[in-house]
Amino acid sequence: MSSCRVVGCSRPIWVELAGLCSRHYNRLRRTGTVEDGPRARLPLEERFWKYVDVCGPDECWPWVGKTRVKGYGSIGVGGRKGRSMLAHRVSYILANGAIPDNPNEWHGTVIMHTCDNPSCCNPAHLKAGTQSDNVRDMIAKGRCAGAFPRGSKHPNSKLTEDDVSKILTSSLSGAEMARRLGVNRATVNRIRRGDGWSQIQKELK
C-alpha cells in the first residue's frame, strides 16, 4: 500500500485522490495545510474549493474530499463541536446565500441535484426544493428504491399498452378477452374495474 505524500510520513494513504493519510488529510481539512504549527483555520470558501474538481460551466464539478454514504461530499464548517455539512449544500450557500427556510416541511429545505450526481458541487446543477419535490423527482427519473417500472416495462407484465386499450374498449367478455391475450380472466376484470394501468385509463377517458 502506498504511503502518505507528506515527506517523512509512512502512514498508509487514507484518501486516494489527496494522497494523504488520515492524520494529514484531517489536518488539511481543518486548517488548510498539512504542515505542523499554528492551527488557524482558513476561511470556509477557501478550504471548500480545494476539494472540488472545477470543470466546464455545464459539467459536473465532483467533490474529491471526504464523502458520506451514497457519495455525498462532506466538509467541516467550524464551530467548537466541529460541525460538518454536505458539500453540495455549502456550494449552494456560497453561490446563492443562505438556504431558504421552509417551515411547512419538517425536512426543511433540501438542495437537489438536477444532474443526479451526488458528488457534484456545480452551483448551476443545484436547486432548492422540498423533500416532496425531491421524492417526486426521484420517482420521475426512476431513482427511487420503491419506484418500479410501470406498464409493459415491468418485468412481470404479460400485457402491452395496446392490449390494455383493447381490454378497455372491447365488447368481448372478460373470459374471451383473457383467452385471446393469454392471461387470467381476473386480470382482465381487474383492469376493467380501473385497478392498474392508470395512464391508459386516463388516455381513454
Domain ranges of the chain: 1-40, 43-140, 151-204
pLDDT tens for each residue of 149-171: 566 665 567 788 888 888 888 88
| Strand intervals (E) in 87-125 | 110-113
Beta partners for residue 112, in sequence order: 127
pLDDT tens for each residue of 57-103: 999 999 998 887 788 999 988 655 567 889 999 999 999 998 887 76
Q: Is the pLDDT of residue 135 over 60?
A: yes
Q: How far apart are CA 36 and CA 9, in angstroms?
A: 12
Question: What is the average pLDDT across 136-148?
Answer: 62
pLDDT for the residue numbered 24: 86
Sequence length of the chain is 205
Mean pLDDT of the chain: 80
Q: What is the DSSP string of 143-173?
A: -STT----GGGSTT----HHHHHHHHH--S-
Q: What is the DSSP letter of 49?
A: G
Phi, psi of 57 (to 5 degrees): -60, -25
Q: How far apart are CA 106 and CA 165, in angstroms?
A: 42
| Topology adopted by domain 43-140 | Homing Intron 3 (I-Ppo) Encoded Endonuclease; Chain A (3.90.75)
Rounded percentage of the chain residues whose pLDDT exceeds 90: 20
